[in-house]
Amino acid sequence: MKFKSLNTRITFIFLVLILSIQIIGSIAIRFSIEKNARASVSEQLALGEKIFLSLLNQNSESLTQGARILAIDYGFRQAIASNDEETILSALNNQQKRLGANISVFYTSSNFYPTADDHQIVEGEKIYEVVKSAVTVLVETAQESGDFKSFAIFNNEPYQLVAVPVKAPLTIGWVIMGFKIDNTLAKKLHKLSNLEVTFVSKSNNANWSLIASTLNSSSFNNIMTQPSNVLDTNSMNREIHIDGVSFGSRYVSILKSPNQVLYAVLQRSIDEATAPYKNLQLTLLILTIFGAFVFAISIYYVSKYITKPITDLVQVAKSLEKGNYAINITSDRADELGELSRSFSSMSEAISSREKSISRLAYYDELTHLPNRTSFMLTLNKALEEAKLTKQQLTIFVLNLNRFKQINNILGHDSGDEILRVIAEKIKMTAREQDFVARIAGIQYAMILPDTTSEIGLSLADEISRSFENPIIINMQSVDVSASIGIATFPTHANNEAQLLTRAEIAMYAAKANKVGTTVFDKSYDLNSSTNLSMASELKNAITDNQLIMYVQPKIDIATSKLTSLEALVRWKHPEKGFIFPDQFIPFAEQTGYIQLISQWMLNEAAKYSQMWNALNLHYPIAVNISTRDLIDQDLPEKIDAIFKTYHIDHSSLTLEITESSIMDDPVRALATLDKLSGMNIKLSIDDFGTGYSSLAYLKRLPVNELKIDKSFILKMEQDESDKKIVQSTIDLGHNLGLKVVAEGIENLIVWKLLRSMGCDSGQGYYMSKPMPASDFVKWISLWDNSSIFKETQLNID
């Protein structure tokens, strides 16, 4: 049951409680009354039995005295002696009348003189014999046991009999007298005990016979149905229902022989016994109803008084739910409800304060005090709706800091937090008034540029990138920080806020992967586009279907013009699209994880060709590029060792090239892998040196053998003095660290000579040879040895 108010609930609970108590009490009282009434009836029945037995005993004594008077009478004895039958019968009849007996008999062994009120007893021959037989048994029993009292049934009528001997001086006969057990006895007993009395009998296994009863005739049958064979004792209490009235009944055994059974049934109405208590129960019921009514009214007003403060607090809670915290809760009560009211007031103030704090936390970054991602998305949504209405373009930036993890690990988190705050200020200073700047992730910032094209956005992004050129001073330390910025524009790149942000993030990751500061989104970056999904499936098939081809590019000793080693490069020959160059699928493979499969394929191909060339006495190490995913694979050394064993080649046959950025992504795991590879006598080379972020302190810890100067410094070094200085410094640095130095991107003789003058060890580039299929290498080496460049270092061989 549901209640709409606490007041009603309290009233209902207490009313149910009081009614339950009253009902339980009434049931207990009724049970007690019933129990006591039945106990009282049982006591009355037991007392009635005693009265009945006493009455029988009195009758017996009366008969005995009357019979003795007759037995000692001289005249009666003279009549007996003279066998004067008339005198004997007259004396018996007179004494019977004086005593009020119903039967009298004089008995001798040879004579039998009966008299009775009912002449059927003595006139019928059969009945006569029954009476004679019963008297004979009585006399014999009296002679044997001295018990002169007995009961007998003659003509279905029971009698109480006594026997007294007639002596002169020896016993010459017996005087037997008896009372009939009938309504007279029943009424007398009823008058003495106030019990209903019924006599029932049964002779020779016949049906039960009703002898006498104080009950009306319609109630006899219920008594007659009680069989005697269920009685275990001379008396037993029972409860009988007669005409809808319960009677406590006591069966008193008067005569119990094999052929004759006689019971006196004593009864007391239980309903009559409980009648005096009915009025008491009715009074209690009326008092209970009245009390419950008064109690209900009282408890209603009491509960209303108790719940009123709670009702007031409910209204206050509803106001708080609506955000109204200005409600003043006052209470002058000193009890718990007053304390609850004051606690509510304090809670309201605390909730108001916390909600303001939560609202600030929900929409602002605590560290930089810039809006957070949630606030950014809400603002972007509104800005896009406005841009759609005004048909303007909208551009967003996503800026992510490079190698911040290393900075944080070296300088500590406090310094890292300070750098994040400084970066936030730099971005805000660069932003225009209408722009919206937010910090949307740990090291990720975003900016909304309303009414801005991607070209203008690119210009602003470059301005932000230039603001990072000056080092940040933190705790007296100069820290170089750089960032990768991704740009996406509405409606060119996306039509909703989630997709626009996602594509700006994709552009940012592309900028990071390509090591450029800023990148505008291009659909080729999106791995989820249909084109790239197709490429994912095709690239997987390319690896399994041998569509990849290994190319090699020679590395030439600059001082001697002799071939020193080869770099293995991968090409993809698509069955429909033709050749697909590495720049088109390698970044994609790195993002999808297929780069590891490509690396394993390249290592196996390089080992296979090394085995073939070794058989031709061409012992040139082959360098294979290893990706970031390969480098952090702790099982890489075992995989490479298995390849060496498969192709039966020496560990010096392969060289592994790694980039600075791949090392710095996870320096600890990368260094552990490099140490294992170096321990296997595998030579290691740092590829594209100068484009990453590794420090010299970290570089000297690496177990590498070679530095490769990135081609971006080599291509223009003949015109750019800065590039010249960087190349010279790198060569000197490598030699000082005991490393060989290789230059990439040599495309003319001038650069060749400059590198020779700088002391560079080796070089590779189109000037000496373009990348060629590995299957063409044997032919190329024969041409190289016979070429004039080998002699003069001038000839370009395709």
Q: Which of the residues in the chain have pLDDT under 70?
A: 1-7, 109-113, 116-131, 144-147, 205, 217-236, 305-309, 312-313, 315, 320-339, 341-342, 344-345, 352, 526-534, 536, 661, 664-666, 690-698, 785-798
Q: Of 449, 469, 509, which is closest to residue 485 (Cα–Cα)? A: 509
Token couple for 46: 């037991």
pLDDT of the residue at 169:
80
194 CB contacts (<8 Å, ≥6 apart)? 44, 268
pLDDT of the residue at 234:
47
pLDDT of the residue at 696:
63
Which of 248, 280, 312 finishes a domain?
A: 280
Using the Cα atoms of residue 658, residue 664, residue 665 and residue 667 in order, give the sign of their dihedral. positive
CA distance linking residue 368 with residue 395, whole number of Å? 23
Q: Is residue 286 part of a domain?
A: no
Prior bond to 491 cis, omega within 30? yes
Q: Of 409, 500, 489, which is closest to residue 455 (Cα–Cα)? A: 489
42 near 301, Cβ under 8 Å? no
762 near 556, Cβ under 8 Å? yes
**Could you report the per-residue pLDDT of 457-471, keeping only the tens digit for each?**
889 998 998 888 888
CA distance linking residue 132 with residue 144, whole number of Å? 18
At 411, which helix (H) or strand (E)? Answer: helix 404-411
Same-domain status, 470 and 425: yes
Same-domain status, 496 and 560: no
Q: Is residue 184 part of a domain?
A: yes
647 near 610, Cβ under 8 Å? yes
Q: Is residue 609 part of a domain?
A: yes
711 near 745, Cβ under 8 Å? yes
Same-domain status, 267 and 401: no
Same-domain status, 257 and 378: no
Q: Is residue 113 part of a domain?
A: yes
Neighbours of 138 (CB within 10 A): 24
Using the Cα atoms of residue 423, residue 425, residue 431 and residue 434 in order, give the sign of their dihedral. positive
**Could you report the per-residue pLDDT of 322-345, keeping only the tens digit for each?**
666 666 666 666 666 666 766 766
DSSP conformation letters of 262-320: EEEEEEEEHHHHHHHHHHHHHHHHHHHHHHHHHHHHHHHHHHHHHHHHHHHHHHHHHHH
Same-domain status, 250 and 389: no
Which of 222, 246, 280 finishes a domain?
A: 280
At 670, which helix (H) or strand (E)? Answer: helix 667-679
pLDDT of the residue at 795:
45
671 near 700, Cβ under 8 Å? no
Residue carrying structure tokens 């722009």: 435
CATH number of the domain within which 740 lies: 3.20.20.450
Same-domain status, 269 and 384: no
Residue carrying structure tokens 């942000």: 501
pLDDT of the residue at 797:
38
Angle, alpha carbons 642-647-652 (nearest 5°) = 80
Token couple for 679: 């321990």
pLDDT of the residue at 625:
93
pLDDT of the residue at 796:
42
Which of 280, 304, 326 finishes a domain?
A: 280
Q: Is residue 320 part of a domain?
A: no
Q: Is residue 360 part of a domain?
A: no
Report the DSSP beta bridge partners of residue 81. Answer: none
Same-domain status, 375 and 272: no
Q: Of 325, 333, 291, which is closest to residue 308 (Cα–Cα)? A: 333
Same-domain status, 603 and 493: no
Tally: H helices and E strands in the chain: 27, 27
Neighbours of 90 (CB within 10 A): 14
Largest CA distance in the chain: 194
Query: What is the domain extent for residue 380?
Result: 370-526
Q: Is residue 581 part of a domain?
A: no
For the chain, state the CA radius of gyration.
64
Q: At what angle do helices 85-99 and 6-72 cross, to 10 degrees?
A: 150
In the chain, how many domains are there?
3
Same-domain status, 512 and 565: no
Q: Of 612, 553, 621, which is closest to residue 582 (Cα–Cα)? A: 553
CATH number of the domain within which 463 lies: 3.30.70.270
Report the DSSP beta bridge partners of residue 212. Answer: 199
**Could you report the per-residue pLDDT of 274-319, keeping only the tens digit for each?**
777 777 777 777 877 787 777 778 777 777 766 666 776 676 777 7
Same-domain status, 508 and 600: no
DSSP conformation letters of 211-257: EEESS-GGGHHHHHT--GGG--SSEEEEEEEETTEEEEEEEEEEEE-
Same-domain status, 509 and 630: no
CATH number of the domain within which 210 lies: 3.30.450.220
pLDDT of the residue at 232:
38
Q: Of 720, 771, 721, which is closest to residue 745 (Cα–Cα)? A: 771
Same-domain status, 604 and 513: no
In terms of Cβ atoms closer than 10 Å to its own Cβ (0-12, 13-18, 19+), residue 260 is middle
CA distance linking residue 141 with residue 266, whole number of Å? 29
Q: Is residue 7 part of a domain?
A: no
70 near 95, Cβ under 8 Å? yes
